[in-house]
Amino acid sequence: DTGVSQDPRHKITKRGQNVTFRCDPISEHNRLYWYRQTLGQGPEFLTYFQNEAQLEKSRLLSDRFSAERPKGSFSTLEIQRTEQGDSAMYLCASSLARASGGYEQFFGPGTRLTVL
Amino acid sequence: AQKITQTQPGMFVQEKEAVTLDCTYDTSDPSYGLFWYKQPSSGEMIFLIYQGSYDQQNATEGRYSLNFQKARKSANLVISASQLGDSAMYFCAMREVRNNAGNMLTFGGGTRLMVKP
């Protein structure tokens, strides 16, 4: 399977704990995005990387959130001191930036976080 | 102001019939792209179709077509010959180019489509 993969698929944690999610993009894709989706809503952008550089962060990304993409391959999203409001689906997507346009993003299956 | 508006929270369609899912958008950027994604109950977002703001013809991909009306700022998705497997959430999304070098997407609230046998 050469699609975007995410791990874990589900995470249940207690308030105040730290959690880390992993995303493996499609191998040749140089852009990687994190989105958050709450129940009944569309995904909301959190942050994106071009290769290993984190180029933009949404205001949704509080200082408890940190994302990395070492070596421009997989990415991790860490949430420190989780709160119940962090409960959501965390989606990772990747794309290949090219001059011809399109820029469709391919999404992974998501990690569903539940904070008790 | 909402950048992407999907006014139909839920829709029913009879199997084998065509259905139109509405999407209106708001942007001042002359260069933008519009996307439709399908999200089944499994949660994965599946890319369906893309329309660029400068594309002269409406995009088509198999049973999916995009009815792009630039002056009205609408980008409705038409699904022909609905199948039971089409039952899912459908999201319209926009990529603005000028102020968005990263090409991140802004999504609408989605429409839940239910196909009746």
Residue B100 pLDDT class (50, 70, 90 cuts): low
pLDDT at B62 over 70: yes
Is the Cβ pair B101, A55 closer than 8 Å? yes
A20 strand-pairing partners? A78
pLDDT, chain B, mean: 92
**Nearest of B94, B90, B88, B85 to residue B111 by alpha carbon:** B90
- Whether B83 and B70 have beta carbons less than 8 Å apart is answered as no
Query: At residue B95, does pLDDT exceed 60?
Result: yes
Q: Would you state the pLDDT for residue A63?
A: 92
- Predicted local confidence at residue B1, as pLDDT: 56
Query: What is the pLDDT, as a whole number, of residue A1?
Result: 54
Which of A39, A94, A107 is most worth mutating to test chain B (most B CB atoms within 10 A of its CB)?
Answer: A107
pLDDT by residue, tens only, chain A of 116 residues: 579 999 999 999 999 999 999 999 998 888 999 999 999 899 999 999 988 999 888 888 889 999 999 988 999 999 999 999 999 999 999 988 765 555 688 999 999 999 99
Check if the beta carbon of residue A82 is closer than 8 Å to that of residue A115.
Answer: yes
Cβ separation of A108 and B44 shorter than 8 Å?
yes
* A77 neighbors A69 (Cβ within 8 angstroms): no
Strand runs (DSSP E) across chain A, as ranges? 5-7, 10-13, 19-24, 31-37, 44-50, 53-57, 65-68, 75-79, 88-95, 106-107, 111-115
In terms of phi and psi (left: phi > 0; alpha: psi -120 to 50; beta: otherwise), the region of A109 is alpha
Rounded to an integer, the average pLDDT of B9-28 is 96
Q: Which candidate from A48, A55, A104 shows the least CB-CB separation from B35?
A: A104
C-beta atoms of A91 and B47 within 8 A: no
Amino acid identity for residue A1 in this structure: D
Question: Which pLDDT score, from 0 to 100, does residue A55 have?
Answer: 87
Partner-chain residue, chosen from B37, B42, B52, that has the shortest CB–CB distance to A101: B52
What number of C-beta contacts closer than 8 Å exist between A and B? 65
Interchain CB distance below 8 Å, A97 and B103: yes
